[in-house]
Amino acid sequence: MSSVQKTIATPKKGKASALHLKTAANKQIPAADATIKRQIHKSRIRHPLLATRVAGMRLEDRKKMQVRIKQGFAFDAIIKLGKELDLSQKALGKLLSISPSTLNRRKKDGHLRADESDRVARFARLKDAALIMMQGNDQAAIQWLRTPLDILAGDSPLDHSVTELGARDVEELIGRIEHGVFS
């Protein structure tokens, strides 16, 4: 064996590298984006921001989250999700499989049912995953979630995720993209 070691791989440089992102100290990105980018830098997000805001709690404890979903989220979870996905209430209701009349009843009641809360949490989780994949670029994440993809039979990731199985497909796709696995 020789004492000279060959370099097998070098870290990425430029825009694609999470190591070269601007920090909040540089005042070039908002504080919320700085939090996301710090979590990206650690390569795993511990507290998905949208999912945390929608649920009204951190998602670390799955038992507590399950209880929270069973109790039903407050109606404002739908409003937050709609803003984050840049969708109208009508489009979001269609995505969540909630009719306009039911959506109006939930608004008056102030709470969602467990199955509706579960779907809201699903889409919030997907938005967080897409945001990580896009290195904190919110518009790129939304664009990717809305773009029809051949690998999803022509569905957009959002449309494909109307079922839990479809959402898992999208999460797996995001994982493959993040790890550079060609699909």
Per-residue pLDDT of 92-141, as tens digits, reads: 999 999 999 999 999 999 999 999 999 999 999 999 999 999 988 999 99
The three-point CA angle 172-153-142 to 5° equals 60
- The pTM (predicted TM-score) of the whole model is 0.72
**Tell me, what amino acid is at 111?**
H
CB atoms within 10 A of CB 9: 5
pLDDT at 42 over 80: no
Which residue ranges make up each domain of the chain?
28-178
**Digit-coded pLDDT (tens) for 60-104:** 677 888 899 999 999 999 999 999 999 999 999 999 999 999 999
Can you say how many angstroms the Cα of residue 31 is from the centroid of all Cα atoms in its chain?
18
